[in-house]
Structure 1
Amino acid sequence: MSNLVYTSNIKIKRKKGSLRHAYLPAEKEPVQFGLHGAIAKHYGVSDTIDDPHATTIDYLISAVGGCLTGTFGGALKVRKIDADNDKLTSDVIGEVELEDNVLVIKRILVKYTLLAEEKDRKTIERVHKIHKEYCAVYKSVYKAIDITSELKIETI
Structure 2
Amino acid sequence: MSSINVDNKSMKLEVLILPVSDVNRAKGFYESLGWRLDADFVTGEDFRVVQLTPPGSECSFIIGNGITSAVPGSLQGLHLVVFDIETARAELVGRGIEVSEVFHDVGGIFHHVGYEGRVPGPDPERHDYASFASFSDPDGNGWLLQEVKMRAPGR
Into which bin does the TM-score normalised by the smaller protein fall? under 0.3
Higher fraction of helix: 1
TM-score w.r.t. length of structure 2? 0.26
TM-score w.r.t. length of structure 1? 0.26
* Greater relative contact order (CA < 8 Å, ≥ 6 in sequence): 2
Structure with greater Cα Rg: 1
